[in-house]
Amino acid sequence: MAQLRHGLALARHYEVNPGPLPPGVAVKMETAKRAEAKAELDRAKYWPDKNGKGRKVDRWTGRNLGEDAIAADKLADRGFAEFYANHYSRICLYVHGSGLARVAGLTPELFPVLSTIAFQTIGHFAIVAAEMTLRLAGRWDREAERAVQDVKDMRQAAIDGVFANHPARKKVPKPRKRRNPPRAPRP
């Protein structure tokens, strides 16, 4: 349903704003238009309302994302539930309109840390998705496992490099001792 909504939204956008389509957009719009009738039938079949018409659901499972993360971890323990519990709300704050407010007060020293945390999270799930896709396609073998491990190692080295070279990790020089001790205050 999300892909259908996305394709239809693209079609509406380019009807109002004609011009050359970016690569891949035409395929998304055509696919959505072809799938619309079947999607409506599936919606009525799997999520009927009291009138027998299809309810609009945000997720095909009918559950919220947190519940889906728990269910996904039961199928393949990959950290989805932990990620949802620890990071999802914070990420939503960055993504849905208040992102600038979240970074506006950061010092230049902290911004790379924030970016590295995002890279760490995104990279983890990109690797999980790649591995699961290879397994489902029957392409998971020693070579694929080594390649994925190499990506994990490079990603971790980049993350470790940012944290190791962060200015906060450098030794702060001790204050110099004064040669002449301060004088006692006068009465």
Residues 108 and 148 in one domain: yes
Residue 179 belongs to some domain of the structure: no
Residues 36 and 71 in one domain: no
Residues 88 and 25 in one domain: no
Residues 35 and 114 in one domain: no
Residues 99 and 11 in one domain: no
Residue 185 belongs to some domain of the structure: no
How far CA 138 is from CA of 6, 131, 148, 187, in Å, comes to 30, 11, 15, 87
Residue 183 belongs to some domain of the structure: no
pTM of this prediction exceeds 0.85:
no
**pLDDT at residue 7 is higher than 90:** no
Tell me what the mean pLDDT of segment 172-177 comes to: 60
Residues 42 and 99 in one domain: no
Residue 69 belongs to some domain of the structure: yes
φ, ψ of residue 54 in degrees (nearest 5): -80, 130
Which has the higher per-residue pLDDT, 1 or 107? 107
Tokens of 1: 């349903």
Band of residue 74 on the pLDDT scale cut at 50, 70, 90:
very high
DSSP bridge pairs for 54: 48
Which has the higher per-residue pLDDT, 109 or 179? 109
**pLDDT at residue 76 is higher than 60:** yes
For residue range 15-33, list pLDDT tens digits in order.
Answer: 898 889 888 888 888 888 8
Residue 176 belongs to some domain of the structure: no
Which has the higher per-residue pLDDT, 42 or 145? 145
**pLDDT at residue 181 is higher than 70:** no
Helices (H), the chain: 2-16, 25-46, 65-75, 80-83, 89-95, 99-103, 111-136, 142-164
Residues 118 and 40 in one domain: no
pLDDT recorded at residue 103: 73
**Which residue range forms the structural domain that includes residue 11?**
2-46
Q: How many domains does the chain have?
A: 2
Residues 20 and 91 in one domain: no
Q: What average pLDDT does the chain have?
A: 83
The sign one gets for the Cα dihedral 165, 98, 3, 64 is: positive
Residues 42 and 69 in one domain: no
**pLDDT at residue 102 is higher than 70:** no
For residue range 119-172, list pLDDT tens digits in order.
Answer: 888 888 899 999 999 999 999 999 999 999 999 999 999 999 988 888 777 665
Residue 177 belongs to some domain of the structure: no
